[in-house]
Chain A
């Protein structure tokens, strides 16, 4: 019996293992169903299911939004898709070649911070900044395809106090963002819904399956989707709800999904557009592949696993996807892998075989294909471009979503991970950071804003005053502030618009008293309060009512610093009990003039000198901070640190501000100093599109497309950009970015001036030497053949 047991137990174990393996294999088969060979896309009449896997009846009141996990999932395994390139950044072990990071832009604090969950050089992991998935989703959800950080696991749902996943729900993978063929697919709607924190509703609204109203962001954190409508508020804090387009459902409550397989370019471009800043839509060039009718997804392929082929050389090694090698430039056009080994027959999708006649081999060894074929043709300066994700492109509506910053330039030629030079996009980071020893950790803009208090609110304060003064203005009158040669007025976003001041003739001769508050009407600037003598008997009867209206308007300024007053000649006006009261200007307020604030018995101007100095300095530029502001904020941060810890007397600053390729800190004397730092280095990522037609490739016109003494390819200098107005900025030359010798390429470029002459000389010597050799061989052959005999 024991013997039987000894045999039976291992056998039983093997049997169990076999069964487990068989079941696993079967499960695997279900995930990746083999293609039956038919090239059509099936019509998708699908019953919609909600996040609880309940069937959705579109006519139901309070119907839930559809869930891709349970609607698409039964045929397309959701967990498999979750491992795809667009969704697995948080957990991915293999990140491949650097791509475009997410860029956290906050002009007020001067933050341009590249972020990525992928371990790419220069991009900060959001977790280092204590940015939880909720924060990340609200920041960048506008251009996310759902899933990933927007759909955290249950264990990550309550990591921070601010997270409101229970109100908003999770943004599941939005299959339709890519695969919806319908013209109803609206990326702008997706962005708006994400901003409203309607995460679980966003896909339904963006696909046009239903109309979504309400805003989860306005609901209390205790609200739950099962609570239904907010009965207490029907106007402001309205709970999100869906009203389905019932016309698109059949009698069995099945919805018709118009599916695009592979996805249409418009869906890719919603998040992956890149356009030169100065280009117009009408003149913008298209990628040559697109012009030939090739869709993005025909090269950037994937299967159910959604491991999108990115198309760079070496990707197969990085990802283990062997077919990736054949989808590179080299793979399609030459049929070769990165080592030059023929792996497929070239010519996929009609790719022409390049001859590259007359191009020396060194170019193929040291340059990526994209150097000559992709991006804008190198000009005197780099091209400034905007990308969908960095500059918030493609979100249309009344408000302007797109931003001019961050300033991304291309094509910056740099060496990639393989040591080959390729075109890249470049952005200079800017952020506040805590330095501890050699370690530097960026700080969230919210932390800086809270610590800085009023220091960073100069524009807000002036805009607040101008916005309030608009209440005291007549029809078509706009309140303005003239200062530092600029005319400021408040814009629709509550910020300031600055335009250059055309001085005397425009201001009616009132520009001598800058800064001054006035009104603009039909291009003419007048003082806010007309000059009058309160003591005069024949004073303008409209003058004092105007003073009263200005004072009443100023009383509405948010965070009012004191009581609004107007000092006119020797009279001080203020509103008391809705009446205009006047009194002689007290002796201690001597010199007070115009509108201002009475605070602690002191007269203060409407806007502090610091505020005016700051906005005037940065007006007309993309700068948002001055050195004075940075110094003050660093001081505040250091003081806060000193209170928290044992202060280091005379020790180095614990905080740094990075901008323009340099790190700014306070020295022992409290002065702002800057230094070069690795953490301030530009962040780059390779570009591949747009691919230009061959006639527009570098080298088409000969070697001098690049090799001249003043080559636009080799000799440019990138001056760092950043939000800080400073003369202390880093710069990098093209050759230093490429890692090649500048002097050498100057000299080498010069040699091309004599290259034609050199070729002629060489050709003549070859002809002459060849003639001598020919004669020699003819003679030898003649002698051997006995045709040439010895002369007597």
Chain B
């Protein structure tokens, strides 16, 4: 169940983000009102795009590609904070979802020990990032207050752009990270019986999925955002 939902959710988010890029790169497609035509154009675009993305950079060009990250040019503390953060999150996601989806027994052995250690590093880095970077992801300081009467509420729209989506995903990621840390700590405390342990285990898994999806969306919208 979890494996199926995870795969479907990843596909959905991936396709959604790809479709967004398609719309940005092909503004003319916005005029198309036929779903079949949109899907056809999008599929054609995707068919060309995926091989292009996969082949660029080539394996030989990976070091140069990685060296090109802005990360390496950051101040020492910030650089290592982000290395720890990205590294731990990538390992957590890779080990957790690989074992959850492909290994019947779930996460065990040395990958589990590393998962626990990476979890601690992730929690610390996430906390520091929350304190150091959260202010960058606050929403505009304009009033958001809902109109006083209900008719106006119906027509009320929060001004919401791509940047706001990224901010939203940041906060969602932070929330999921908090949830992950809590659901990792609580089973270790002598408070929860067998049923509670089952709930906490499920809670940890679903939090991880939300966290991953939020991270992907945030990365697409913020870190690797298409040049406008």
Contacts and interface: CB of A to CB of B under 8 A. Distances in A.
B191 interface: yes
A17 B150 CA distance: 82
Given A751-B116, A783-B144, A358 B187 contact: yes
Contacts of A362: 106, 108
Given A780-B139, A784-B144, A790-B142, A357 B190 contact: yes
A418 interface: no
Which of A362, A764, A766, A780 has the most chain B CB within a 10 Å cutoff?
A766
A436 interface: no
Contacts of A358: 187-192
A632 B106 CA distance: 55
Nearest to B119: A762
Interface in B87-136: 106, 108-110, 113, 116-117, 119-120, 123-124, 126-127, 130-131, 134
Contacts of B174: 769, 772-773, 776
Interface of B is mostly: helix
Nearest to B194: A356
A692 B133 CA distance: 54
A774 to B, nearest CB: 10
A762 B184 contact: yes
Interface string B170-194: 0100110110011011011111111
B146 A761 contact: no
Nearest to B124: A765
A758 B145 CA distance: 42
Contact of A765 (B108, B123, B138): B123
Contact of B145 (A359, A764, A772, A786): A786
A741 B111 CA distance: 13
A791 B201 CA distance: 44
Which of A360, A762, A764, A790 has the most chain B CB within a 10 Å cutoff?
A762
A362 B108 CA distance: 9
A789 B143 CA distance: 6
A772 B126 CA distance: 11
Given A361-B197, A761-B120, A741 B146 contact: no
B58 interface: no
Interface string A439-466: 0000000000000000000000000000
B141 interface: yes
A334 to B, nearest CB: 8
A361 B107 CA distance: 12
A231 interface: no
Nearest to A756: B188
A677 interface: no
A786 B147 CA distance: 9
A759 interface: yes
B191 A790 contact: no
Contact of B127 (A759, A765, A791): A765
A768 B130 contact: yes
A766 B171 contact: no
B50 interface: no
B198 interface: yes
A770 B178 CA distance: 7
Given A361-B198, A759-B188, A744 B113 contact: yes
Nearest to A772: B130
Contacts of B194: 354-356, 359, 361, 364
Contacts of B142: 790
Given A360-B197, A751-B113, A763 B185 contact: yes
A783 B143 CA distance: 6
Contacts of A27: none
Which of B106, B126, B178, B182 has the most chain A CB within a 10 Å cutoff?
B178
A769 B178 contact: yes
A514 interface: no
A773 B145 contact: no
Contact of A762 (B123, B190, B201): B123
A785 interface: yes
Interface in A606-637: none
Nearest to A353: B193
A747 interface: yes
Interface string B153-179: 000000000000000000100110110
A759 B190 CA distance: 12
Contacts of B175: 773
Given A361-B197, A768-B131, A783 B191 contact: no
B141 A747 contact: no
B130 A744 contact: no
A748 B113 contact: yes
Contacts of B116: 751, 758
A440 to B, nearest CB: 35
A779 B110 CA distance: 42
A785 B171 CA distance: 20
Contact of B181 (A364, A748, A762, A776): A762
22 contacts: A355-B194, A356-B197, A357-B193, A358-B190, A359-B197, A361-B187, A361-B194, A361-B201, A362-B106, A362-B108, A747-B110, A761-B123, A764-B127, A766-B182, A768-B130, A769-B174, A769-B177, A773-B174, A780-B144, A783-B139, A783-B143, A791-B141
Interface of A: 354-362, 364, 741, 744, 747-748, 751, 755, 758-759, 761-766, 768-770, 772-773, 776, 779-780, 783-786, 789-791
Ordered nearest first, which 9 A-B pairs have the shortest CB separation? Answer: A786-B145, A358-B190, A783-B144, A765-B123, A355-B193, A765-B127, A772-B130, A762-B185, A769-B178
Given A360-B197, A766-B185, 14 more contacts: A357-B191, A360-B187, A361-B201, A362-B108, A758-B116, A758-B120, A761-B124, A762-B119, A769-B130, A769-B177, A769-B181, A773-B171, A776-B174, A786-B146
